[in-house]
Structure 1
Amino acid sequence: MDLNTIKAVARPRARGELPVWTAGDAWLAGGTWLFSEPQAHLTRLIDLADLKWPPLSITAEGLSIAATCTIAQLDALACPPDWLAAPLINQCCRAFLASFKIWKTATVGGNLCMSLPAGPMISLTSALDGVCTIWGTDGSERKVAVLDFVTGNQRNVLARGELLRQIDIPLAALKRRSAFRQISLTPVGRSAALLIGSVTAEGGLLLTVTASTKRPVRLAFGTMPGPHELREAILQGIGEADYHDDIHGKPFWRKHMTLRLAEEIRSEISSAGARP
């Protein structure tokens, strides 16, 4: 869609060239949502392409994902063999149920900043203990866990003019054994529940609930829970008002699916751990 109210496009090549943020500005990365509907309030786009951030960096500390990294680039990442959680990357990329055109354009950072409950990059990075680096308009920098970055349906902690720079995934999270479950109301619909479970070094369970809830929810168990303990923890930890409600699934159904998928994850992880 043409944005016929845009009067200027800024193309900074370094942080020092970022223009002073004013009313009517918008960051432009992939633009798959930005150009999908009218944006009559916008007058200037700040294109991040010329900043040329490396999309993905594997270091001794883990994985760094630039906010401008595309879904296609992330999906193509060749992960080290000891990253047991690596399958989650491909599974979450495919939870978009999007065309190859979207894959090559949409960005990881854009998915987080849209902060839709069904955002699969939110699911991936929150389950893997991701930490966001946020650039302030005054040259400052702050870090926020992905679990705290998204605060509700299309709501997050970004203040006016702040920019998501990258998401860092710690090595320990990438080495955890994990299990993935996702369901949609229709065959090619938006995720109505997306849960990821992983095993801690101490043998406990970390369960991250997304899509069915308005924001990511983490439930942690010091040891592997039984079915009843897991169910009660979900019932106590996720209130009725926390479940999302839209055409892609009613809250009571999302709650039911959350309980069902959580038990499937617990069962899968428990069975795998019991094998010789």
Structure 2
Amino acid sequence: MDLHTVTEVISPASPGQWRPGDAWLGGGTALFGEPRPHVSRLLDLTAAGWPPLTVHDDGVEIAATCTIAELAEGLRGYGIVRQCCHAFLASFKIWNVATVGGNLCAALPAGPMISLVAALDGICVLIGPDGGERRVPAADFVTGEGTTVLRDGELLRAIHLSASMLSTRTAYRRGSLHRHGRSAVLLIGRADPAGGISLTVTAATRRPHVLRFPDPPSADEVEAALDTIPADQYVDDVHGRPIWRRHLTRHYAAQIRTELAA
């Protein structure tokens, strides 16, 4: 879609250049997906030259401009990364353009990068117009459909995933109305080293919900935890009604509990 109100593109761009009417540009697959009449200038982050993946002793830093193709290749040894990348159900053309950061900032319920970093307790690194940095748990980054914790002029610089989280055992379930349809329910379970599990509910709900169990939960405990998700949190659109998403969430949660307890 043409953003006909845009009159200028700044490339490369830095946080200090932001002004009202600007929008940060990553891959653009989400930015150009719908009209944005309030945007008059684009600040190109892809030209900043950030390394897609930076490995540290304690984990890996994923640049916001890392493409899905770069993520899938760089972390191909981790099954949960591969599964979330394939949840896009997108062509290689999209994989080579769409970015991890763009998927998070679009804040669509079906965003699989949101599912991935929330389930692995990722940390989002944000930079403000003044250069100040703050860190936010990835599970708290998305606040609703199309909304995030980003303040005016703030950008998502990177997401940090710890080595211990990447190496944990996970269980993945994804449901859709159609074989090649958008994710309507996406659950990721994670076995914690201390013996408990975490269960991350996405796609079915307007924002991620991470349910944590310090000990292996019973079926009733999982059901009780799912009951804490408000009914109005379940998405209602052409990809699935709330009652169906809620039912499938419970069905997958029971499967994940059994799989992780095995």
Interval of TM-score (by shorter of Structure 1 and Structure 2): over 0.9
Aligned equivalent of 1:267, options 242, 258, 261: 258
Q: Report deviation, 1:179.
A: 0.6
C-alpha contact (below 8 Å) 1:129/1:169 kept by paired residues: yes
For 1:119-134, what aligned pairs fall within 5 Å after superposition? 119-134=111-126
Classify the secondary structure of the residue corresponding to 2:17. coil
Instruction: Work out the CA distance in 2 between the residues paired with 1:231 and 1:195.
Output: 14
Q: After TM superposition, give the deviation of residue 78 of structure 1 in Å.
A: 4.4
SS in 1 for 2:9: strand
| 2:18 aligned counterpart, secondary structure | coil
Is contact 2:109–2:202 with CA below 8 Å preserved after alignment?
yes
Kindly indicate whether residue 44 of structure 2 is the aligned counterpart of residue 53 of structure 1: no
Q: Secondary structure at the match of 1:191?
A: coil
Q: Which residue is 1:28 aligned to?
A: 25
Give the counterpart letter for 2:206 in structure 1: K
Match among 198, 203, 209 for residue 217 of structure 1: 209
Q: What SS does the corresponding residue of 2:186 show, helix, strand or coil?
A: strand
CA RMSD of aligned residues (A): 1.4
1:243 to 207, 229, 234: 234
Cα displacement (A) at 1:24: 2.0
Identity %: 52
Distance in structure 2 (CA, Å) of the matches to 1:224 and 1:90: 26
Larger Rg: 1
The answer as to 2:223 corresponding to 1:231 is: yes
Structure 1 counterpart of 2:2, one-letter code: D
Q: Quick check: 1:41 aligned with 2:41?
A: no
In structure 1, list runs of 5 or more residues that go unmatched: 81-85, 272-276
The residue matched to 1:124 in structure 2 has which SS? helix
Deviation at 1:11, TM superposition (A): 1.1
Shift of 1:139: 1.5
In structure 2, the gaps of 5 or more residues are none
Are the aligned partners of 1:26 and 1:45 in contact in 2 as well (CA < 8 Å)? yes
Query: What is the SS of the residue equivalent to 2:24?
Result: strand
Equivalent pair of 2:118/2:200 in contact (CA under 8 Å): yes
* TM-superposition CA deviations, 1:94-126 (whole Å, max 9, x none): 111111111110000000001111110000000
C-alpha deviations, 1:57-98, integer Å up to 9, x for none? 121111110000000111112456xxxxx2010100011111
1:5 aligns to 2:43 (yes or no)? no
Instruction: State yes or no: 1:111 paired with 2:124.
Output: no
**Aligned partners of 2:32, 2:226: CA distance in 1, in Å?**
38
Q: Are the counterparts in 1 of residues 85 and 113 from structure 2 also a CA contact under 8 Å?
A: yes
The TM-score with structure 1 as length reference comes to 0.91
How many residues are treated as equivalent by the alignment?
262
Give the residue type in structure 2 aligned to 1:47.
D
Q: Is residue 2:54 matched to residue 1:62?
A: no
The one-letter amino acid paired with 1:2 is: D
SS at match of 1:64: strand
- Where 2:184 maps in the other structure, the secondary structure is strand
For residue 171 of structure 1, report the CA deviation from its aligned partner. Answer: 1.5
CA contact (8 A) 2:173 2:188 kept: yes
Q: 2:190 corresponds to which residue?
A: 198
Deviation at 1:19, TM superposition (A): 4.8
Alpha-carbon spacing, 1:241–1:3, altered in 2? closer, same or farther (3 Å): closer
Runs of 4+ in 1 over 4 A off after TM superposition: none
Distance 1:3 1:151 in 2: 26
Contact 1:117 1:212 in 2 (8 A): yes
TM-score by length of 2: 0.96
SS in 2 for 1:186: coil
Q: Look up the SS of the partner of 2:223 in the other structure.
A: helix
